[in-house]
Amino acid sequence: MEVIAFLVPLALLLGLFGLLGFLWSLKNGQYDDLEGAAWRAISDDDETPTTSGPSAAHRGV
Amino acid sequence: MQATRDFSHYVKHLGSGLAHIDLAVEGVNCAGCMSKIERGLSAIPDVTLARVNLTDRRVALEWKEGALDPGNFIDRLAELGYKAYPFETVSAEAAEVENSRFLLRCLGVAAFATMNVMMLSIPVWSGNVSDMLPEQRDFFHWMSALIALPAAAYAGQPFFRSALNALRAGNVNMDVPISIGVILALGMSIVETIGHADHAYFDAAIMLLTFLLVGRYLDQNMRRRTRAVAGNLAALKAETATKFIGPDEISVVPAAAIRAGDTVLLRPGERCAVDGSVIEGRSEIDQSLITGETRHAAVEAGSAVYAGSLNISGALRIRVSAAAEGTLLAEIQRLLDHAVQARSRYVQLADRASRLYAPAVHATALLTMIGWLIAGASLHDSVITAIAVLIITCPCALGLAIPTVQTIAAGAMFRAGVLINSGDAIERVAEVDHVIFDKTGTLTLPELDVVNSAAVPADVFELAGRLALASHHPVAAALARAAGAKSPLPGVTEEPGQGVRGSFGGEEVRLGRPSFCNAEDLAEQVLRRDPEASVVAFARGEQPYVFAVRQGLRPDARETVAALQRRGIAVEILSGDREPAVRAAAETLGIPEWRAGVMPSDKIARIEQLKRQGVKVMMVGDGLNDAPSLAAAHVSMSPISAAHLSQATADLVFLGKPLAPVIAAIDYSRKALRLMRQNLYLAVGYNVLAVPIAILGFVTPLIAAAAMSGSSILVMLNALRGRRVRQEQV
């Protein structure tokens, strides 16, 4: 049973990575247009011209 | 004089040689439009970013500074078939967006913590009834504390701040019992963990925050979306002015960039965006948006012109004056300030509930503790039981009861064409039993319409419409719109102040004043039948025709009034227009009570009189002269075409031509209020069941978790019923 002393923190660490990923995606503006994101996922166009969010300086708006 | 367009007011400079602009785009509603626009705009050289936001119906553009003019983008979008307008983010909207992100961050943290604490709690719950070693349980509890404490400190901020603000102001809101519950639950859990006890409530505390944050985020997101759409509509109304930048050089600039002392040009058919006085020119203006008066007023050099006036016949040069200098505006502003101050603060249902709830819960917890002490329990056990009472009564369901219903109802109203300006409007609309309508622009449509088109042969009507396309005169524009004319006649010449002439099929055709078309007798006959109308004459060869043009009633005005009366709501008209016009509208609509020629102060007096009789008045109006009475009424509503000040004052704004949104707002609000009450009863009913268990000291963390999520889900499901109202309708 001693192994839980090692496994539980490991599980938490993995969860924490998930949380950090979520916070990063939020900061990156990926939740600003949920309706549009739903459509983009099934869009046929391969050559999406600009895929990144608005540039860093503008993110706060 | 060719006008240049100046969009520099809207451009943001990002540094590193990039410029940014946001455009509101009409008609973007599918994935196809999205990629069409993005590809079309990215094809322009030097564009570094073109991204459509489908939720807000906007496009964000970035380009190398100096290489392009924003006008290029608008032209390119027009080629693609989309109408676009430069858009300025108002500070209120930026704050909403920021708040919405903050809540989502809090929700992410709280949800992460809840899942991981649950992962540790379930072994403890099952271990407590089997063979878990005390050391293992302590380890799990300490790990839970390690996750829950920082997470609660971060994710609880929205509640802690709001509770602190309320306490500072000497109030109690729902966030006060929430904060106390969470903090005590965490504090007790730490003490219990140190004391190697069987139970800790970390999971209950953090789960409570997660559930409540879901409700908050949904609520906030709904508000943000409504605000974005309202912002787009404001941009689509395109408040621009034509400013003189040299003696004979003009430029189209946003109204916000105009300063007092500037000179602007107002062409026939344009709506004035500024207040000022005429320095050159002579014309007639339509001030119906300001005073409700539908008859045109003559203006010349020296006359005052207010924002919202529509220029009818001649071009005017206007010197812009400082705002609210005019006597009329100053008077309206004074009345408005007074009405806003006099408005008693409405106490929302949620606040009323929490004012009853918080003392009751805290008293119960205290009595539980005293009771157990008298019964001979130890201080430690008594305090633990009292805190368990607080945790089990912690208003999880109560906190969700009202916001979820508000979110659902606002969404349903949004789809019915009603935007909500203030949060507590739904509750106030539900109580309304008397509706006062303004006439001009509210019961009637703001645009002019041809009222006697049936009396004219269809081909003549169409031909007149095509000829009318050549003129800027609002009456001619109304004729062209009513006839559905698309292709202008070639070779049309204009006779200033008279009308336009052209030829069709070898015959001369003329459109303009009755005297211009030899139609004075006919015009007199038409005017005798319909004295409120403006007339425009049309002649094909020597055969004259006369069209009567005026503001028509909204298409469903009669049905809406009848539907209101069926719901037991009294309907009344208060209008600034002259008596015959108001009488005609009231008779057509079957409204027995009406007053004409009413001044803004008289409108307020009437509302105050009704208020004193205990009547809950809803004011529906659009004019600048309605703004004070909109503020004075129990709740108020404006069409989207309303004057700025009125729209900002109104609690609700409705879109489109029909008047039916008024009914929709009342129906959805009444249903919402019913559901809010039901939800409160559900939440209280759950407490009535759970509290005795807690007082007797039988509550374990497992029971708390199950009861909390059970009641929250029940309340949310009940709220979903607010999406539909019975389709008796209009």
Handedness of CA B606, B612, B614, B619 (dihedral sign): positive
Residue A44: count other Cβ atoms within 10 Å of its Cβ: 7
Give the per-residue pLDDT at B325. 45
Q: By CB neighbour count within 10 A (0-12 exposed, 13-18 middle, 19+ buried), where does B345 fall? A: exposed
**Has residue A54 got a pLDDT over 70?**
no
CA-wise closest residue to B236 among B687, B581, B641: B641
- What's B260's DSSP letter? T
**B391 and B704 Cβ atoms separated by less than 8 Å:** yes
* Cβ pair A57:B30 closer than 8 A: no
Give the per-residue pLDDT at B105. 94
Per CB-CB distance under 8 Å, the chain B contacts of A17 are: none
**Has residue B145 got a pLDDT over 90?**
yes
Nearest residue in A to B43, CA atom: A49
Q: Which two tokens stand for residue B515?
A: 């005297």
Give the per-residue pLDDT at B641. 78
Residue B115: count other Cβ atoms within 10 Å of its Cβ: 16
CA-wise closest residue to B276 among B234, B233, B244: B244
**B399 and B673 Cβ atoms separated by less than 8 Å:** no
- The amino acid that residue B216 corresponds to is R
Per CB-CB distance under 8 Å, the chain A contacts of B136 are: 1, 4
* Cβ pair B51:A50 closer than 8 A: yes
| Model confidence band, residue A56 (pLDDT cutoffs 50, 70, 90) | very low
For residue B604, the number of C-alpha atoms closer than 13 Å in the C-beta half-sphere is 20
Q: How far is B104 from chain A (nearest CA, A)?
A: 8
**B209 and B186 Cβ atoms separated by less than 8 Å:** no
**Has residue B238 got a pLDDT over 60?**
no
| Model confidence band, residue B112 (pLDDT cutoffs 50, 70, 90) | very high
A-interface mutation test, from B16, B25, B39, B49, most A Cβ less than 10 A away: B49
* Phi, psi at B282, each rounded to 5°: -150, 130
pLDDT (average), residues B322-333: 58
Q: Which two tokens stand for residue B550?
A: 């005026």
Distance of alpha carbon B478 from alpha carbon B465, whole angstroms: 9
**B530 and B524 Cβ atoms separated by less than 8 Å:** no
Chain A, chain B: beta-carbon pairs less than 8 Å apart: 99
What percentage of chain B reaches a pLDDT higher than 70? 94
* Cβ pair A18:B112 closer than 8 A: yes
Per CB-CB distance under 8 Å, the chain B contacts of A32 are: 53, 55, 97
Residue B58 Cα to chain centre, angstroms: 17
**B647 and B627 Cβ atoms separated by less than 8 Å:** no
Strands (E), B27-131: 47-53, 58-64, 84-87
Give the per-residue pLDDT at B199. 84
Q: By CB neighbour count within 10 A (0-12 exposed, 13-18 middle, 19+ buried), where does B448 fall? A: buried
Helices and strands counted in chain B (H then E):
23, 28
**Has residue B349 got a pLDDT over 90?**
no
Q: By CB neighbour count within 10 A (0-12 exposed, 13-18 middle, 19+ buried), where does B387 fall? A: buried
Q: By CB neighbour count within 10 A (0-12 exposed, 13-18 middle, 19+ buried), where does B449 fall? A: middle
What CA–CA distances, in Å, run from B254 to B10, B65, B242, B250, B251? 9, 21, 9, 13, 10
Residues in contact with B608: Cβ distance below 8 Å, sequence separation at least 6, in sequence order: B632
Residue predicted with more confidence, B324 or B220: B220
Specify which residues B570 forms β-bridges with: B434
Lowest mean pLDDT segment, chosen from B100-114, B216-230, B437-451: B216-230
3-state SS record for B150-218: HHHHHHCHHHHHHHHHHHHCCCCCCHHHHHHHHHHHHHHHHHHHHCCCCCCCHHHHHHHHHHHHHHHHH
Q: Does residue B238 sit in helix, strand or coil? A: coil
What percentage of chain B reaches a pLDDT higher than 90? 17
| Model confidence band, residue A55 (pLDDT cutoffs 50, 70, 90) | very low
**Has residue B730 got a pLDDT over 70?**
no
Give the per-residue pLDDT at B437. 93
Q: Does residue B457 sit in helix, strand or coil? A: coil
| Model confidence band, residue B666 (pLDDT cutoffs 50, 70, 90) | very high
Across the interface, of B35, B42, B48, the residue whose CB is closest to A43 is: B35
B136 touches chain A (CB under 8 A): yes
Decide if B337 is catalytic: no
Lowest mean pLDDT segment, chosen from B47-56, B231-240, B244-253, B391-400: B231-240
- What's A35's DSSP letter? H
Residue predicted with more confidence, B285 or B453: B285
Lookup result for tokens 């004011």: B619
Residue predicted with more confidence, B617 or A56: B617
Give the per-residue pLDDT at B239. 65
The total number of residues shown for chain B amounts to 730
What CA–CA distances, in Å, run from B469 to B2, B278, B477? 20, 28, 7
Give the per-residue pLDDT at B344. 58
pLDDT tens, residue by residue, B465-490:
888 888 877 788 888 888 887 778 88
Distance of alpha carbon B84 from alpha carbon B27, whole angstroms: 9
Across the interface, of A15, A31, A35, the residue whose CB is closest to B116 is: A15
Per CB-CB distance under 8 Å, the chain B contacts of A41 are: none
Give the per-residue pLDDT at B324. 41
Per CB-CB distance under 8 Å, the chain B contacts of A22 are: 108, 112
| Model confidence band, residue B322 (pLDDT cutoffs 50, 70, 90) | low
Give the per-residue pLDDT at B539. 86
Distance of alpha carbon B166 from alpha carbon B404, whole angstroms: 22
| Model confidence band, residue B1 (pLDDT cutoffs 50, 70, 90) | very low
Catalytic residue among B175, B203, B438, B626: B438
Four-CA torsion B590, B591, B594, B599, nearest 10 degrees: -110
Residue predicted with more confidence, B498 or B322: B498
CA-wise closest residue to B643 among B664, B629, B627: B627
Lowest mean pLDDT segment, chosen from B283-297, B416-430, B510-524: B283-297
**B281 and B308 Cβ atoms separated by less than 8 Å:** no
What CA–CA distances, in Å, run from B431 to B66, B89, B617, B635, B674? 56, 34, 9, 9, 11
pLDDT tens, residue by residue, B593-652:
999 888 888 888 999 999 999 899 999 998 878 888 888 899 999 988 777 777 778 888
Give the per-residue pLDDT at B691. 86
Across the interface, of A39, A50, A54, the residue whose CB is closest to B34 is: A39
Lowest mean pLDDT segment, chosen from B7-16, B157-166, B382-391, B504-513: B7-16
Lowest mean pLDDT segment, chosen from B133-142, B251-260, B650-659: B251-260
Q: Which two tokens stand for residue B545?
A: 């025709």
Binding-face residues of A in 1-60 toward B, CB within 8 A: 1, 4-5, 8-9, 11-12, 15-16, 18-19, 22-23, 26, 31-36, 39-40, 42-43, 45, 48-50, 52-55, 57-58, 60
pLDDT (average), residues B328-342: 69
Q: What is the mean pLDDT of chain B?
A: 83
Work out whether strand B58-64 and strand B507-512 pair parallel, antiparallel, or are unpaired: unpaired
Specify which residues B264 forms β-bridges with: B243, B318
Lookup result for tokens 């979520």: A22
Give the per-residue pLDDT at B439. 87
**Has residue B657 got a pLDDT over 90?**
no
| Model confidence band, residue B3 (pLDDT cutoffs 50, 70, 90) | low
